[in-house]
Amino acid sequence: MAVAAARAVESSRPDRLVEDPFAEAFVRAAPTPRPLPTRWPDDLAALTDQQVLLLLGANYVGLRTRFFDDALADPGRQVVLLAAGLDTRAFRLAWPAGTTAYELDQPEVPAFKDSVLTAPPRCTRVPVPVDLAGDWATPLRAAGFDPGTPTAWLAEGLLHYLDADAERALVDTVDRLSAPGSTLTVERAMTVPDRQALEDGSDRLGVRMDEIVHTGPRTDLTTTLRDRGWTAEDIPADTVATRYGRPLPHPDLVRARAGGAAQPTQAGFTRAEKTG
């Protein structure tokens, strides 16, 4: 829900990078014990520490969403959103006629999403309930996915939910199901050098990131993909931030935070294409 709230915040900004007209409805439909901001505030000085942290996250999610939107601008006939969550690209983006988007997530997520969204999608949208740490290839194929057609794969905000073995298995399955010409755009799992800092941050944020994030060592994703015959490029979030003129972290929010100092972002993306 924090990601939908973040996209609602982004959509309210005068300098928005993304407009998601559906994001706020998700937050309204499932209120959280501590309310999540859904608007960019007029007065940053009046914010609590928790609100500043949530808005720092929203500032990043706005940039991330735009990066993935642009990565999927011309997706071909078949898109697979791994851990689609409350992603509304199938409703927002003007994909060419004939595009099919498979939305994979845990069963309760598409059920909630369908209960909130009343607008028709702008492409053929196929929700597929799965466990991405298990066998998800079988239900995806049963839903109509064609491994002989090049696919645009997207994994945004997913990898830190998977441990290293599940991440490698996911990449193996993507590889097995990918025709040459397929692309994969991924937000890399976050690096968390200090478990205690993650617990403290979860307390302050009011979102228990420490209970959902796998922090163990992982094989470098670019290497994993290149070993399987993909071209793969790492794109640091800072590079994307410069490209879109969206500083990370937001300097005014850093100033608004008592004793705050700008922490460099460790976030980043991998963009890959299957060539052979």
Ligand X SMILES: C[S@@+](CC[C@H](N)C(=O)[O-])C[C@H]1O[C@@H](n2cnc3c(N)ncnc32)[C@H](O)[C@@H]1O
Q: What residue ranges bind ligand X (CB under 6 A)?
A: 3, 83-87, 105-106, 109, 130-133, 156-158, 161
Min separation Cβ 255 and ligand X, Å: 27
Q: Which is nearer to ligand X, 24 or 105 (by Cβ)?
A: 105
String of DSSP letters for the chain? -HHHHHHHHHHHSTT-S---TTHHHHHHHS--SSPPP-S--S-GGG--HHHHHHHHHHHHHHHHHHHHHHHTSS--SEEEEET-TT--HHHHS-PPTT-EEEEEE-THHHHHHHHH--SPPSSEEEEEE--TTS--HHHHHHTT--TTS-EEEEESS-GGGS-HHHHHHHHHHHHHTPPTT-EEEEEPPPP-S-HHHHHHHHHHHTS-HHHH---S----HHHHHHHTTEEEEEEEHHHHHHHHT--SS-HHHHHHSTT--PPPP--EEEEEEE--
Residue nearest to ligand X (CB): 85
Q: Which is nearer to ligand X, 29 or 133 (by Cβ)?
A: 133
Min separation Cβ 24 and ligand X, Å: 14
Min separation Cβ 231 and ligand X, Å: 23
Q: Which is nearer to ligand X, 44 or 169 (by Cβ)?
A: 169
Min separation Cβ 42 and ligand X, Å: 26
Q: Which is nearer to ligand X, 256 or 267 (by Cβ)?
A: 267
